[in-house]
A and B are shown apart, each in its own frame.
Chain A
Amino acid sequence: MRLSPRDGLRVASIGLRTRPLRAALSALGIAIGTAAIVAILGLSASSQAGLLAEIDRLGTNLLTAEAGQRLTGGEAKLPLEAPARITHLDDVDQVAHTGLMKDEHVYRSSMIPAANSGGLQVQAASLNLPSVLGTGLARGDWLNEGTAREPVAVLGSDAAAQLGIDRIYADQRVWLGGQWFNVAGILEPSLLASDIDASALVGYGAAQKYLGYVSLARGGVEAGPPSTIYVRTATGHEAAVQSLLAPTANPEAPNEVNVSQPSDVLTARAAAAGAFDTLFLGLGVVALIVGAVGVANIMIISVLERRSEIGLRRALGATKGQIRTQFLTESILLALIGGVVGVLAGIAATAVYAGSKNWAIVIPTEAWAGGIASAILIGAFAGLLPAVRASRMPPTVALRTV
């Protein structure tokens, strides 16, 4: 004779209903473990989704061509006219470029020792650089035709933070190449070109006039050469343009040009960032094990305490199997409550954190389903021994009053 599912559930939940505080405390360990695991998996999935969404927003059609190494050793240079040649390629929409001035450094003031450059770079930038990179301005203005020829700089986000500059006013200056440069603006972090972040950017005109960044060309001098060229292609033609980029930039030595697609690198990095924090995952597993021990402990105590209930149920006609099922189900219910609460807490933690970062909230199925499934398994495992003990207790012993 089997109990109906409803009766079975009612009988199995008696222990939980009569001692809710005890049930809650013993389910807590499993809840904490499950919450930790779900939150870690959820957060890494959400941050990955956030990064991918950001890459998607910035577009995957950006290519870069950089000066590489000479075959004979030493650093190669891009030809001065490389950007102009690339502009003439089919399916190239926009071309921006920067010229790295290795010998120039930027300081907060003239009093800073020259060696304390803080690893910040000085680069000349074409005027369309922010629009090609999709990088906005956090403060102030970008360079224009006029300021590009004057001692005016725009700081990358890391450079501004390192120089201690967080706002823009008329007389905000930095010490750059042995003279004062006014700071016109501060860029937001640039995901696709992170070396911009640690740079102070000036116009090519200013680089030529104040920093002596010139090359000889067609019998005169011109500002340059560029060290990195940023190319926006028509969507879908990235591969075709990529294969032509090196020979176009430097027809005489295409092997001295490094061509890459920054979004590819970032996507790979996002996948790696999705690899969750093993330490916290391990802590979650430890909490689950401790929780399982807690549930087993409570179930053993419960069986001892409820001896007379077991005896009564046997007298009312419960079989050994029904007694075993009752305590096993109770243990599973206990763990399941912990698991469900833990999953909800983990989702809530993920939602709060992802919300604060404007990421999409992603809870991997294996996280919540795995959390609940492992709770059921833990409950079954922890409850097995107590349930078998309860079922094997002879009714006469169970009914004996001490």
Chain B
Amino acid sequence: MSETVLELDGVTKVYGEQPAVAALRGVSFSVRRGELVAIVGPSGSGKSTLLHVMGTLDRPSSGVVRVGGVDVAGLSDREVSLLRAREIGFVFQQFFLAEHATARENVADGLLYAGVPAAERYRRADEALERVGLSGRATFRPTKLSGGERQRVAIARALVGRPAIVLADEPTGNLDSATGASIVQLIRELGAGGATIIMITHDGGLAEQLPRQIRVLDGRVVSDLGAPA
């Protein structure tokens, strides 16, 4: 059996004081290397909070989050930042690409804070662009790319450091359905190539295209289909 790269154990997240709003109420699951997971739920179900907690952008109110076996709770800002730089890749609905920089520079910036020298960053950016099928667009700026191409650049940026997990937050949310389908297809191909990808979506149809689906509702996991035994 392959190793566990992400583990959540009894994770809760409570916002505010009066009235306190519980966004997560005891979430537990684990993800192994090479898995493709969809986290699916309607808006307000707590899946965005879950993404932030998994991505170490936010700390849980209680419970344990382990990334690559390391308990995030004990880490300083500097250590948790380095963990994000090396072990976690993010893909956002809005792409968040730098418009003044080329696709290649955007992808290379995925390694900026990981302590990788510039020449190595650009070499690995070219590799990552090839993996998402955009080698020919390396010198284009995002403004000259289609929505689907922009999201591919963002995916390449998440993959460039070969992180333990890639967290994709509604990656098809700003794309038309055909382009969205091609992005999901790309995610499946990348998964077949060994990447661990967790996709968050409100779209059950998209979620069903990934081997494992975790359904969340009101801050709880209500079903977990296709988890490896």
B-contacting residues of A (Cβ < 8 Å)?
1, 3-4, 6-7, 11, 14, 17-18, 308-309, 311-322, 394-396, 399, 401
Contacts and interface: CB of A to CB of B under 8 A. Distances in A.
B58 A395 contact: yes
B57 A317 contact: no
Interface in B66-121: 77-78, 81-86, 88, 90, 92-94, 96, 98-100, 109-110, 112-115, 117-118
Contacts of A320: 77, 81
A18 B58 CA distance: 30
B118 A7 contact: yes
Given A6-B118, A319-B81, A14 B100 contact: yes
Given A315-B90, A317-B84, 18 more contacts: A6-B118, A7-B118, A14-B98, A14-B100, A308-B94, A309-B98, A312-B90, A313-B113, A314-B57, A315-B84, A315-B88, A316-B90, A320-B77, A320-B81, A322-B81, A322-B113, A396-B52, A401-B93
Contacts of B96: 308-309, 311-312
B100 A17 contact: yes
Residue of B78, B81, B115 contacting most chain A CB atoms (<10 Å): B81
B77 A11 contact: no
Interface residues of B, number: 30
A320 B80 CA distance: 11
A18 B100 contact: yes
A218 to B, nearest CB: 97
B55 interface: yes
Contacts, number: 79
Contacts of B100: 14, 17-18
B112 A321 contact: no
A4 B118 contact: yes
Interface centre among A1, A4, A321 (most CB of B within 10 A): A1
Given A1-B82, A14-B100, A316 B55 contact: no
18 contacts: A1-B82, A1-B115, A3-B112, A14-B98, A309-B98, A311-B96, A314-B81, A315-B55, A315-B88, A315-B90, A316-B90, A316-B110, A316-B112, A317-B86, A319-B77, A321-B78, A394-B58, A399-B57
A401 B90 CA distance: 16
A309 B101 CA distance: 13
B57 A1 contact: no
Contacts of A309: 96, 98
Contact of A3 (B52, B86, B113): B113
Nearest to B99: A18
Nearest to A7: B112
B118 A317 contact: no
B82 to A, nearest CB: 6
A322 B94 CA distance: 23
Nearest to A318: B113
A318 B92 contact: no
| Residue of A4, A18, A315 with most partner-chain B CB within 10 A | A315
A318 B98 CA distance: 16
Most buried by A among B57, B77, B92, B117: B57
Contacts of A316: 84-85, 90, 109-110, 112-113, 157
Contact of B85 (A1, A7, A18): A1
Contacts of B94: 308, 401
Nearest to B49: A396
Q: Which 10 A-B pairs have the closest CB atoms?
A: A317-B85, A317-B113, A395-B57, A319-B81, A1-B115, A312-B96, A317-B84, A315-B90, A18-B100, A396-B52
Contacts of A14: 98, 100
Contacts of A4: 117-118
Nearest to B76: A319
Interface string B151-181: 0000001000000000000000000000000
Interface string B37-60: 000000000000000100101100
A11 B101 CA distance: 11
A17 B141 CA distance: 15
Nearest to A6: B118
Interface centre among A3, A7, A14, A394 (most CB of B within 10 A): A7
